[in-house]
């Protein structure tokens, strides 16, 4: 369900992105709603779809950072349990499938910087140019940061797997 507004097509992805930054579904929904509202009221919104997508994710990111600043959580830390519970599984996915929970847990143990780049790439399929624009970093930095994030996720996941899903080490 995407609704009639063009930005609604990125709703699910943007919500996942906001959850990855805030670690809380309710706050993430508020931030995405704020971004959607802004997309309706902003005077200068890019006209082509690719640029709109980048613009929208930037707005979501800034809204999340503002919220974190208000909440005085500038270390951007999240609560592992709250994060893993923040995703609503659809019924076709085996509810509480072990690996899914492990991946979420491993993701929660990464740094905010690593989580955001992974979610933007793997879930939202942003190109390296788009990632550079949204994260406001050089294109060359995107590949190295993304690779480090993938390797960190892999390490955390293997630690969790070895512990039988009990690992809860801080990042």
The conformation of residue 97, written as its DSSP 8-state character, comes to: -
Q: Which of 99, 95, 84 is closest to 20 using CA atoms?
A: 84
Which residue from 68, 119, 133, 134 is in contact with another protein, where contact means CB under 8 A?
119
Shortest gap between Cβ of 56 and another protein (angstroms)?
13
Count of alpha carbons within 13 Å of 21, Cβ hemisphere only?
27
Is the separation of the CB atoms in 19 and 86 below 8 Å?
yes
Cα distances from 35 to residues 22, 48, 59, 72, 167, in angstroms, run 15, 18, 6, 21, 35
Structure tokens at 11: 């709703």
For another protein, give the closer residue by CB, 53 or 121.
121
CA 140 to chain centre: 21
Which residue from 77, 85, 128, 137 is in contact with another protein, where contact means CB under 8 A?
128
Shortest gap between Cβ of 72 and another protein (angstroms)?
26
Q: Is 154 in the site for another protein (CB under 8 A)?
A: yes
Shortest gap between Cβ of 157 and another protein (angstroms)?
7
- Contact residues for another protein, defined by CB under 8 A: 1-5, 8, 11-13, 15-16, 19-20, 29, 32-33, 36-37, 40, 44, 46-48, 51, 87-90, 93, 97, 99-101, 103-104, 107, 118-119, 121-123, 127-128, 143-144, 146-147, 150, 153-155, 157-158, 161-162
């Amino acid at each position: 369900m995407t609704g009639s507004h063009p930005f609604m097509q990125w709703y699910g992805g943007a919500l996942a992105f906001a959850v990855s930054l805030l670690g809380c579904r309710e706050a993430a929904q508020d931030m995405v709603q704020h971004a959607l509202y802004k997309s309706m009221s902003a005077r200068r919104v890019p006209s082509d779809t690719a640029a709109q997508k980048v613009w929208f994710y930037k707005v979501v990111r800034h809204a999340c950072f503002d919220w974190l600043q208000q909440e005085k959580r500038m270390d951007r830390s999240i609560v592992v349990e709250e994060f893993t519970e923040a995703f609503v599984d659809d019924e076709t996915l085996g509810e509480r499938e072990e690996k899914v929970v492990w991946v979420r847990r491993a993701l929660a143990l990464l740094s905010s910087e690593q989580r955001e780049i992974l979610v933007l790439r793997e879930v939202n399929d942003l190109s390296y140019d788009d990632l550079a624009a949204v994260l406001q970093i050089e294109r060359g930095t995107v590949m190295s940061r993304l690779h480090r994030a993938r390797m960190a996720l892999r390490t955390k996941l293997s630690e969790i797997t070895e512990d039988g899903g009990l690992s809860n080490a801080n990042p």
